[in-house]
Structure 1
Amino acid sequence: MSNSNTIEPPEKHHPPPPPSLSSLPDDILLTCLALVPRSYHLSLSWVSRKLRALLRSPQLNKLRSKKSLYVCFHEKYNDSDSTFHWFTLNEETKTSTTTKEYRLVPNPTPFPSHKYGSLTVAVGSKVYFIGGPRGEPSRDLWILDTRSETMTQGPSMSVPREQFDAAVGVIDGKIYVIGGEGFLQVEVFDVKSETWELAGLENAGKSYRCGASVEGKVYIVEKDEIHVYNPREGEGERMVKMVTKRLSEGGRKYKLNDTVYCVCVVDDVLFAFFNWTGLMWFDTKRNVWRRLVGRNGKRLKKLSTFSVKEMAEHDGKLAVFYQCFKTEEDFTVSEVVQCAIVSLHRAGDRICGTIDWFGVVGTLPFSFRFLHCLAVSD
């Protein structure tokens, strides 16, 4: 017999589960995914089928800013006679096999024939030519608008600079030019107001320099050291020198003893090609260079060769250019330009690369030499 006065315990009400990312509308999800570096796409694709489908959708590519890869070659006949040739890396799809191919095709933009041996950087659809070529320091600034196909002269710098005497980085729409002898004078060019501003003097030695912008800082890469310029340090020490080491995948550290040839940034990660150790990426958390390896942890042999000349970001991937000689039957020598398209993936604390495509993108006269490789917004 039940007791009518018995009090039943109240029902437990569990809070509803928090909304998942996949529960958001597709248009909001696509906007969010467009801001995520491509190197994280592989990890995100395992979260749900919906995310995996959106990551592969053409709508996501449309939301990302499309860029074209501009490549400039210098053709030199003698000390007083040379020309410059610009090409664009085009992606083609063979209808018979639906496979992708890449080719260097002449760029239709009517580039003027001067100022191409200077420091060069692209911001949006504009290309900025800063200073002069090696041995010819200059205060000049020239601005090429690739959309209107016009070249204009900008305001002059306060200090003359040449191609291999300074580093250039872009942070928040401003171009930072760091270079000079002894104390390096830092000048900042605001691309909106088109004005120069002196940011101060920094103490660093003079040497061959490669510069790039990562995590809101300018990294100046040299043989076995890096100078990092942080414009947000205020009155503190903006330029910091780090002695860098290379970290092998086995964990052994040792100093670099070779020369950096070229650098580029993909998804806010700094990559550099060294003459002896090959292609590396810089771990900003541990301040060490690490080798770009395959998913199996082994070295990518095609990315460790003396013939690498340039590299740049291309559609969220790494485009690596090679240049080698070819002798024809009539004994004439030409330059064969090859390219590797490398997709990048995060795997724990490593970055792994997969060579999606490798092949010949063009054959040029023997007198051609790589000069610039730029990702320019369409």
Structure 2
Amino acid sequence: MNATATATAAATTTTTSSIHPPPPSSESQLIPNLPDDVFLNCLARIPRSHYPKLSLVCQSWHSKVNSSALFTTRSLLQTTQTSLYLNLRINSSFYWYTLLSNCPKRINPQKPIFPLPPIPTQPVGPAFAVLGPKIYVIGGSVNEIPLNCMWVYDCRFNRWEAGPRMKVGREFAAAGVVNGRIYVVGGCVVDSWARSMNWAEVFDPVTGLWAPVPSPIEVREKWMHASAVVDGRVYAMADRGGVVYDVGVGKWGNVSKRLDLGWRGRAAVVGGVLYCYDFLGKIRGFDVEEDVWKELKGIGKGLPRFLCGATMVNFNGRLCVVWERKGSGKEVEIMCADIEVWNDGDGMLNGRILWSDVILTVPNGAAIVHCMAAEF
């Protein structure tokens, strides 16, 4: 073949390749003849409870199910789901579990709850916060030594990672999220300049930095047994009374006596109302503006009296209650109830139990440490 013929053949080959590109290799596609971005769009619309089985199809699917691209797509399509997370203490160890659905009874009645990897360090008395798809375990103590560390569980990838350290160690502190930042209050003895200046701190996940929150000396109690955020204000209940920090104006104050006397256990805020159980074991809601407690009507026959061991969380705008119940033999049943709550227009609080059932059976002596809800 002469030079002219060779050049002509090369040009023809180039032109043909440009007009008719070779078909993509099926080995590089998650589904043959289907673009990966289309597959990702479809995958993002599937309930997250099916992901564990989908990840077993092949290595490529496993990687895609656990990719950041999938969770970004879910956020854009507004197909994210909220899951309940539990921290239990069994003997001297701490265990984490999650429910993968808005209604776990409809997924797998035999085993609706799944264990999570153990936290690398198991502190006693940490503070908890949820921000986006991440759960923050802040401070606590090991061998009675307060820690300044923070562990972060990324719900999307099912893994723990060490977060930036606080300026001081603290245990039994209060924590709350306001405007995308985590505020931590108390949990340390103000016996030094550093602890005094950093009695309250704020964490910015964007910069990854902790910063002190100025506070007057008269509010610096040591231990905090409960906390909540209502209308941009962080409420922290101490052994005696409690304090409230208005983030918007940077102002500290004392909680009202009615709130202090009526707050028991771990509360949840739904629709601007703070819910917990009272000394008679009934669920009540506190209206911050009216400074009054109101009994939650309509649920009395469906729930026991919560004399101890109950914790609550806002779950998609509903009140989720988790408590312990004596099982058969040497077992404890972890119960869960999903409650729709509303104000009836006359100032009264009403509720309706959507479902209630056993979600986990654990050895006798187990106790609920905390429950949280994360959306991703």
Q: Which of 172, 175, 178 is the aligned partner of 2:182?
A: 175
SS at the partner of 1:228? strand
Aligned to 1:230: 246
Is the 1:311–1:320 contact (alpha carbons within 8 Å) kept by the matching residues of 2? Answer: yes
**Which residues in structure 2 correspond to 1:297-312 (within 5 Å)?**
302=303, 304-312=305-313
Deviation, 1:342, is: 0.8
Is the 2:94–2:122 contact (alpha carbons within 8 Å) kept by the matching residues of 1? Answer: no
Aligned to 2:319: 318
Aligned to 1:68: 83
Q: Which of 349, 353, 356 is the aligned partner of 2:354?
A: 356
1:281 aligns with 2:281: no
Structure 1 CA distance, aligned partners of 2:272 and 2:81? 17
Q: State the Cα deviation string for residues 24-53 of structure 1 (Å, max 9, x = none).
A: xxxxxxxxxxxxxxxxxxxxxxxxxxxxxx
Structure 2 CA distance, aligned partners of 1:65 and 1:87? 16
Is the 2:224–2:236 contact (alpha carbons within 8 Å) kept by the matching residues of 1? Answer: no
User: What stretches of structure 1 of length at least 5 have no aligned partner?
Assistant: 1-61, 247-254
Equivalent position amino acid for 1:138 in 2: L
Equivalent position amino acid for 2:246 in 1: N
Q: Which of 280, 292, 297 is the aligned partner of 2:296?
A: 292
Structure 2 CA distance, aligned partners of 1:215 and 1:325? 37
Structure 2 CA distance, aligned partners of 1:369 and 1:304? 17
Q: Structure 1 residues 338 and 155, CA, compared in 2 at 3 Å: closer, same or farther?
A: closer
Q: Which of 129, 140, 148 is the aligned partner of 1:139?
A: 148
Q: State the Cα deviation string for residues 104-141 of structure 1 (Å, max 9, x = none).
A: 4113x434342454212111111111112373311112
Equivalent position amino acid for 2:214 in 1: G
Deviation, 1:63, is: 4.9
Equivalent position amino acid for 1:302 in 2: L
Identity %: 25
Q: Structure 1 residues 313 and 75, CA, compared in 2 at 3 Å: closer, same or farther?
A: same
SS at the partner of 2:157? coil
Structure 2 CA distance, aligned partners of 1:178 and 1:240? 13
Q: Structure 1 residues 352 and 300, CA, compared in 2 at 3 Å: closer, same or farther?
A: farther
Aligned to 2:41: none
Q: Which of 362, 366, 369 is the aligned partner of 2:367?
A: 369
Q: Which of 322, 338, 359 is the aligned partner of 1:341?
A: 338
Q: Which of 224, 245, 257 is the aligned partner of 2:258?
A: 245
1:87 aligns with 2:103: no
Q: Structure 1 residues 102 and 265, CA, compared in 2 at 3 Å: closer, same or farther?
A: farther
Structure 2 CA distance, aligned partners of 1:83 and 1:299? 32
Higher helix share: 2
User: What stretches of structure 2 of length at least 5 have no aligned partner?
Assistant: 1-76, 191-195
Structure 1 CA distance, aligned partners of 2:333 and 2:312? 16
Q: State the Cα deviation string for residues 312-338 of structure 1 (Å, max 9, x = none).
A: 12232111112122343xxxx100122
Q: Which has the higher contact order (CA 8 A, sep 6+)?
A: 1
Alignment RMSD: 3.0
**Which residues in structure 2 correspond to 1:49-198 (within 5 Å)?**
63=78, 66-76=81-91, 82-88=93-99, 90=101, 91-92=103-104, 104-107=112-115, 109-115=116-122, 117=124, 118-133=126-141, 135-162=144-171, 164=172, 166-179=173-186, 180-181=188-189, 185-198=199-212
Is the 2:309–2:368 contact (alpha carbons within 8 Å) kept by the matching residues of 1? Answer: no
Equivalent position amino acid for 2:290 in 1: R
